Amino acid sequence: MADDSPFTVDAEWLESRLGQPGITIVDASWYLPAQNRDARAEYQAAHIPGAVFLDQDAISDPDSPLPHTLATPQYFAQFVGGLGISADDTIVVYDGPGFFSAPRAWWMFRVMGVFQVYVLDGGFDGWKAAGRPVTAEPTKIAPCVFHVDFDAARVANIDDVRRILVTGESQLADARPPGRFAGIEPEPRPGVRSGHIPGARNVPATALSENGALLPKDRLRKVLEDAGLDLSKPVVTSCGSGITAAVITLALETLGHTDNRLYDGSWTEWGGRTDTPVESNKG
- 69: which DSSP letter? P
Can you point out the beta strands (E) in the chain?
A: 8-9, 23-27, 52-53, 90-94, 117-120, 155-156, 171-174, 201-202, 209-210, 213-214, 235-238, 260-263
pLDDT score for 281: 84
Asked whether the predicted pLDDT for residue 3 surpasses 90, the reply is: no
Indicate which residue of 119, 175, 229, 239 is catalytic. 239
Q: Is 13 exposed, middle or buried (0-12, 13-18, 19+ CB in 10 A)?
A: middle
Q: What is the pLDDT of residues 143-190, one digit of tens each?
A: 999 999 999 999 999 999 999 999 999 999 999 999 999 999 999 999
Q: What is the mean pLDDT of residues 22-49?
A: 95
| Amino acid letter, residue 237 | T
All residues at 6 or more sequence positions from 38 whose CB lies less than 8 Å from its CB, including other chains: 31
Spell out the domain ranges in the chain: 8-150, 153-270
8-150 shares its CATH topology with 153-270: yes
134 in the Ramachandran plot: left (φ > 0), alpha (ψ -120 to 50) or beta? beta
- Closest residue by Cα to residue 30 from 101, 125, 81: 101
pLDDT of residue 167: 98
Question: What homologous superfamily is domain 8-150 in, according to CATH?
Answer: Rhodanese-like domain (3.40.250.10)
Question: Any catalytic annotation for residue 239?
Answer: yes
- pLDDT attached to residue 33: 85
Average per-residue pLDDT for the chain: 96
Instruction: State residue 270's pLDDT score.
Output: 98
Question: 202 pLDDT exceeds 90?
Answer: yes
- State how beta strands 209-210 and 155-156 pair: unpaired
Band (283; pLDDT cuts 50, 70, 90): low
pTM of the model: 0.96
| pLDDT band at residue 2 under the 50/70/90 scheme | very low
**pLDDT digits over 94-146, tens only?**
999 999 999 999 999 999 999 999 999 999 999 999 999 999 999 999 999 99
CATH code for the domain defined by 153-270 = 3.40.250.10
